[in-house]
Every structure is written in C-alpha cells, then in structure tokens.
Amino acid sequence: MTTNSLPWYADIVNYLVTKEFPINLSRAEKEKIRAQAKYHLRDEPNFWKFCNDQIIRRCVDDNEIYSILTFCHSFESGGHFGPMRTAHKVLECGLYYPSIFKDAYEFCKR
C-alpha cells in the first residue's frame, strides 16, 4: 500500500467536517456516507466509531492492520488464535475497521 493513499474513513471525516460530499457520488453513495457519519466522531488526531455493542472504538488506517492482526494473533496471551478469536481480540483492544473478520480469516489461513 502506498503511504499517500487515503484511509477508508476519509469521506466520512470530510463529510463531518465540511458537510459536503466528494464530487461524482451517486445519491445512494451520499446517503451511505450520511448514514455512517451518525456513528462516527472526529477527535483530533483520532477518529472513533460508536459500535453496536455500545463501545466506542478507534478507527484504524489500512497501514496499521497487519501489525494489529499480528499482535492479536501471535503475541497476545502467547497463543496462535483462530480467525474469529483474532478478530474479537482486535475489537477487545478498542480498535475498528470494516473488514476485521475478513482480514483475520485471510491472515490466519496463511
């Protein structure tokens, strides 16, 4: 991944700050951003998500995912956990990104 790519939550942050949408978005995409923005909070330098389990988690950028998965899979409590437990460890650490479970599965099957 390149270092200058935007994080997955860039459109949501921009909407929260400016109340404007990126150019050339469809109506459905604008509604999706508006709906997602209700569950996010920007507090410099971090970005937070209000999750369904009533816990506020820090949103992480794509370049942090590998190290987080490595830590939760291998180093935490000294075991090599399966994909479901690894994903739950990420959530227990207070972190969030949309593809936690998919990435944990792909990481653990290597």
- Name the DSSP class of 65: H
Fold of domain 10-108: Endonuclease III; domain 1 (1.10.340)
Q: Which of 70, 50, 51, 47 shows the shortest CA–CA distance to 59?
A: 47
Domain range list for the chain: 10-108
**Mean pLDDT of the 82-96 span:** 91
Q: What integer best gives the mean pLDDT of the chain? A: 89
Task: Give tens-digit pLDDT for 44-87.
Answer: 889 999 999 999 999 999 999 999 998 888 775 556 778 898 89
pLDDT of residue 2: 44
> Residue 1: is its pLDDT beyond 50?
no
Q: CB-based contacts of 86: which residues, under 8 Å, 6+ apart?
A: 69, 72, 73, 104, 107, 108
The predicted model scores a pTM of: 0.83
